[in-house]
Structure 1
């Protein structure tokens, strides 16, 4: 079995375990990212409402939807994780082998030391990440829809309730049927929503292209590892330089320091690309809430 396949299978297995453990947090995070309302003047706007703390949001979901609400879309998510990890590591290993072969060929010609440089590794990671995004984006569109389905359904019911109250207010009277209509709306529970329903909704809204909603910010986010790597190397260089200036006996970096530098680098990369993640989630979520086209996104703006 080739290294590319072995790395792909190993990456897929590890990704599935991590996905199961962290999925409730991902669900709540996606719902917070996609929470939005329209301005009163009906001008399209992605303005957000206060999301509240993540922990309170988790308890709210459990109270209203049960534990199952935290795992909406888990099945396609596991498929997406397995596919993403498998595709990424397989392509990464294949491109890595190619980069190493090119470096070895250059060494035989008297160029370089026979190992790929930093730029080569960044290109390898970018190519593998881009191909992974292009091939698996439809799965993540469905996962986002399923994670935010209940949220969208509640918005639809809220819009219907507001419409009934507005009609009664404008007519300056309270229809005898209004209390019954409001009670009927309050009694409606979110309908079952599976992968097939999500796929049908995406196709109905945007056709085949809808399955690649959010592809541009997702492709841009492929640079996340590059940013992390840049911050990591810069911090290590700063540490070594500082110790050299202080004339310490050893400039070696300890395991704890490497861990902390890695954590800071990952945090920096995540913070810098997080707005793109919000844009991606909003593009992939349901594009109309309660029939209000002011909440529909036509692109990155």
Structure 2
């Protein structure tokens, strides 16, 4: 029964994750671009040559950026990388919820055994919830990180292409100012540059690109901040499980069931607290997984987690770690709320269906015996 319970939670988590992902994916795409856009602080004379980058649209509102993507890339631009993202969501949610339920069952078994020995009241403590979520999250990260590297690459491909086009334009203008290009040649090359559209960029192309850049290890870029970010779902589920436990205790006295809306609100509150706490790590992870050409100059390109943190502090300040946070809060809180609501309803449906089947089997066997 415990194993089937884990399977039910794994399948329900995957289903809820897919639905939440489809609904909120445009916000996720825009948020990833906000996180990976790198703007140096106001430059001084010493760093003018190394931090010269054009001002992007990342400072505008989220709605403006969504409309800009639709205008420049069509609706498909908002759903870049959706296919691997859905695969990643199904895999992540399935793996996470399966192992979360397995570890949760074990934690509850240990708590019950301790109660029989006169230690504790039989309930799972806060630290145990954190440990359960951390173990499940770590396994999930190690197994699914390659998928999210590809998703980040696909979401930011157009952004990287635009940055490389800007660098080519600056190089042409520099050559012209130095007398290396005449006006007619410059005009022709600029016109050709403006007419060039981003190349089609699919999952396989992204995979080959990552492999050519860093080999197999490239698929685990950003793994350090991602593993540290395991504390995000740990905090989220600690808040969620603790709140759900208290609510169930209150409702048990009146024999009332918890509604889908209440689960939605509990999920939103839990995700909000976790997102605000761990957002800087998410920005670092996204920047490591995206094409480094987005950074433009070497001062805004990173070789690893520590290098990224140091350069972000030096060239962008603390604010660089919180780019796009408002968009992420809206996206992640809404997605988590939908996820929890759908997951709980799917688990209820699974349990109800399993109960009906268990009741039906003896009847069918009885009819078969008498016939």
Matched, 1:107 2:109: no
Matched residue, 2:10: 8
Once the two structures are TM-superposed, the CA of residue 112 in structure 1 deviates from its matched residue by: 2.3
**Equivalent residue runs for 1:87-102 within 5 Å:** 87-102=95-110
- Residue of 81, 86, 106 corresponding to 2:89: 81
2: CA distance, partners of 1:285 / 1:273: 19
Contact 2:295–2:301 under 8 Å retained in 1? no
Match status 1:284 vs 2:289: yes
The answer to whether the 8 A contact 2:37-2:295 is kept is: no
Answer whether contact 1:77 1:140 (CA < 8 A) is retained: yes
TM-score for the superposition, normalised by structure 2: 0.69
Once structures 1 and 2 are overlaid, which stretch shifts more, 289-298 or 172-181? 289-298
* In structure 1, distance between residues paired with 2:29 and 2:99: 28
Of residues 160-169 and 255-264 in structure 1, the stretch that sits farther from structure 2 once superposed is: 255-264
| 1:292 CA drift (Å) | 4.7
CA positional deviation for 1:267: 2.7
Within-5 A mapping of 1:56-71 = 56-71=64-79
1:211-269 Cα offsets, whole Å, 9 max, x none, are 1111121122221244456778999xxxxxxxxxxxxxxxxxxx999987875554333
Q: Compute the TM-score of the two structures, normalised by the length of structure 1.
A: 0.83
**Residue 32 (structure 1) aligned with residue 37 (structure 2):** no
| Residues 61-70 or 264-273, more deviating | 264-273
1:206 equivalent to 2:214? Answer yes
How far apart are 1:109 and its partner, in Å?
2.6
1:187 has 2:195 as partner: yes
Question: Bigger relative contact order, structure 1 or 2, given CA contacts below 8 A and separation 6+?
Answer: 2
| 1:176 corresponds to which of 165, 170, 184 | 184
Aligned ranges for residues 110-259 of structure 1 at < 5 Å? 110-171=118-179, 174-228=182-236
Whichever structure has more helix as a proportion of its residues is: 2
User: For the residues of structure 2 that align with 1:229 and 1:81, how far apart are their CA atoms?
Assistant: 18
The alpha carbon displacement at 1:91 in A equals: 0.3
CA drift at 1:117: 1.9
Query: Compared with structure 1, are the counterparts of its residues 23 and 260 closer, same or farther at alpha carbon in structure 2 (3 Å cutoff)?
Result: closer
**Structure 2 residue aligned with 1:20:** 22
Note closer, same or farther for the CA distance 1:92–1:3 as it changes in structure 2 (3 Å cut).
same
Q: Measure, in 2, the Cα distance between the counterparts of 1:282 and 1:289.
A: 9
CA–CA distance in structure 2, aligned partners of residues 219 and 176 of structure 1: 54
RMSD of aligned alpha carbons: 3.1
Worse overlay, 128-137 or 77-86? 128-137
Contact 2:225–2:282 under 8 Å retained in 1: yes
Q: Is the 8 A contact 1:144 1:284 kept in 2?
A: yes
2:273 corresponds to 1:273: no
Deviation at 1:110, TM superposition (A): 2.7
> Which residue pairs with 1:239 in the alignment?
none
Other-structure match for 1:238 = none
Check whether the contact 1:30–1:144 (CA below 8 A) recurs between aligned residues.
Answer: yes
Instruction: Report if the CA contact (8 A) 1:156-1:290 is conserved.
Output: no
**Number of aligned positions between the proteins:** 283
The range that moved more, 70-79 or 111-120, is 111-120
Task: Give the 3-state SS of the residue equivalent to 2:227 in structure 1.
Answer: helix
Structure 1 window deviating more from structure 2 (29-38 vs 191-200): it is 29-38
Q: Specify every segment of 5 or more residues in structure 2 that has no aligned partner in the other structure, as ranges.
A: 41-46, 244-258, 310-371
Counterpart in the other structure of 2:63: 55
Structure 1: which 5+ residue stretches go unaligned?
Answer: 236-254
Deviations 1:45-73 (A, max 9, x none): 9x987431100000000001000000000
1:85–1:290 CA distance, 2 compared to 1 (3 A): closer
Q: Secondary structure at the match of 1:2?
A: helix
